Amino acid sequence: MNKLFFPVVLAGTLFMAVLLQITGKPLKTKSTPLGILNLEFASTDPATRQVVDAWEKHNLIPVAEIHTARDFVFILFYAVLFFSCCRWVGQKMRPASFLQKTGTFLSIAALFAGLMDGLENLGMLLSLTGRISAKITALTFYTSVTKWAIVALCLVYILLGLFVIFQKKRSG
């Protein structure tokens, strides 16, 4: 693999994460203290309506739409980063071991998380343009929960894997 690949993907992920944190700050209001996460985790259409209404009241719908559109770029970076990291960690584990197989599984799951995030964004954009319904809310909520669960598993696996690799080098 190209030596610039990982640094570029890591830098892109970090840059987009910081950009989204900065540009998403206005979405944190008294009614939506978690910002965009309030929309991601709205599990009923009244909850979605409450978030959208709060942002409409403060003229923040355009901010939320731009933020969500930017997130598509972030998805490309973080999904590839987690895919690469899980795969790399898995390759450092004993062949055919549970940790090696888990790395292979989670590398694919990381790409699936990106797909779930894309569907979540589509659901949020539909809601932000006034198409709030139980089906769109459910799509947004369940794809968000799935994405966050996979991301958490990937992070735990990568950190655990790095610990195991470090321990191997120390004792080796």
Report the chain's mean pLDDT, rounded to a whole number.
96
Q: What is the pLDDT of residues 28-40, one digit of tens each?
A: 999 999 999 999 9
Q: What is the pLDDT of residues 91-136, one digit of tens each?
A: 999 999 999 999 999 999 999 999 999 999 999 999 999 999 999 9
Q: What is the pLDDT of residue 169?
A: 83
Mean pLDDT, rounded, for 18-28: 97
CB-CB contact of 89 with 162 (8 Å)? yes
Please check the confidence at residue 160 and state whether its pLDDT lies above 90.
yes
Mean pLDDT, rounded, for 76-80: 98
**35-45 b/e with 16+ CB inside 10 Å = b?**
bbbbbbebeeb
Please check the confidence at residue 172 and state whether its pLDDT lies above 80.
no
CA 11 to chain centre: 16
CB-CB contact of 125 with 39 (8 Å)? no
CB-CB contact of 99 with 93 (8 Å)? yes
**pTM score:** 0.93
* CA–CA separation, 104 and 83 (whole Å): 9
Q: What is the pLDDT of residue 119?
A: 98
Please report which confidence band the pLDDT of residue 1 belongs to, taking 50, 70 and 90 as the band edges: low
* CA–CA separation, 118 and 24 (whole Å): 18
Q: Report the alpha-carbon angle 94-96-98, nearest 5.
A: 80
Please check the confidence at residue 17 and state whether its pLDDT lies above 90.
yes
Please report which confidence band the pLDDT of residue 170 belongs to, taking 50, 70 and 90 as the band edges: confident
Please report which confidence band the pLDDT of residue 2 belongs to, taking 50, 70 and 90 as the band edges: confident
Mean pLDDT, rounded, for 72-96: 96
Handedness of CA 90, 87, 70, 14 (dihedral sign): positive
- Residue holding tokens 């950190």? 159
Please check the confidence at residue 22 and state whether its pLDDT lies above 70.
yes
